[in-house]
Amino acid sequence: MSKHYAVFGHPVAHSLSPLIHLAFGRQTGIAVDYHAIDVASGQFAQTLLDFAERGGAGANVTLPLKQAAFALCDDVTERARRAGAVNTLVRNGETWHGDNTDGVGLVRDLTERHGLDLRARRTLLIGAGGAARGVAPALLDAGIGDLYIVNRTPERADALADALDAPGRVHSRYLTDLATLGEFDLIVNATSAARDGALPILPRSLVGRRCAAVDLSYGEAAIPFLAWARAAGCHDTVDGLGMLVEQAAESFARWHGTRPETDGIYTQLRQRDAVLVTAD
């Protein structure tokens, strides 16, 4: 039976993952069968089972299914366990093995492609869902300073702070606290609020002298937050396209045993004239 790969999400038609993985396949000489599958949360488990029965050997998982994917795995990597979310599935016999490549993808993009030194940066993480959970452990491992998590639902921020298990270093706060938190050296938007026109009001007082602002989305979805960041005087602004490419390369390596070069496809995507809608 042929091996199939896919990205699951809702919505997912916008996803650049099929294009990226097909490009990786051409580069490495590996025949890749990779498609986007749109599925709502309630049908995800059955759809994933059907996919496996048709020869599904691996999958990426995007919004809003990353925590649901974690629950469907029989075993997970340490970084997925810390995140409580899975973005990469590997079929292991009759079960799924879960990994999370988001964090390592983000850190590699920020440090290697954009030349940012993350060490000791006082960091604000906006959001506490699957995307935030995927990157928070890697940011801590990269040596950032104190991490403040704010979320529209305070309980989710508290839960993520507890899961990271770094007392004294990780702090959960409410959105209403933003004006009192002082300046940050790194601000990461891990929400999808911009897609719904619901980006929270962010005070300029959050921006430190050499602050870097990062949106985990790309294309249109990243515009509102990054526009605010530029207007507020952020020294660096970065969208999530590079992270998308880097996390995809990590997934590709898990499935095929070789890590592709990423700069070529990243450059191609940057040069595309089409509007990029949102991030995986």
3 annotated active-site: no
Indicate which residue of 4, 21, 66, 121 is catalytic. 66
DSSP designation for 41: G
Q: Concatenated DSSP letters for 114-178?
A: S----TT--EEEE--SHHHHHHHHHHHHTT---EEEEESSHHHHHHHHHHHT-TTTEEEEEGGGG
Q: Would you tell me how many other CB atoms lie within 10 Å of the CB of residue 36?
A: 20
Q: CA–CA separation, 257 vs 241, rounded Å?
A: 23
Name which of 111, 59, 110, 105 is nearest 83 in CA terms.
105
At how many degrees (to 10) do helices 130-141 and 154-164 cross? Answer: 40
Query: Per the structure block, which two tokens stand in for 45?
Result: 């488990």
Buried b (16+ CB within 10 A) or exposed e, 108-117: bbbeebeebe
Q: Give the dihedral sign, CA 40/43/45/47.
A: negative
Active-site amino acid positions: 66
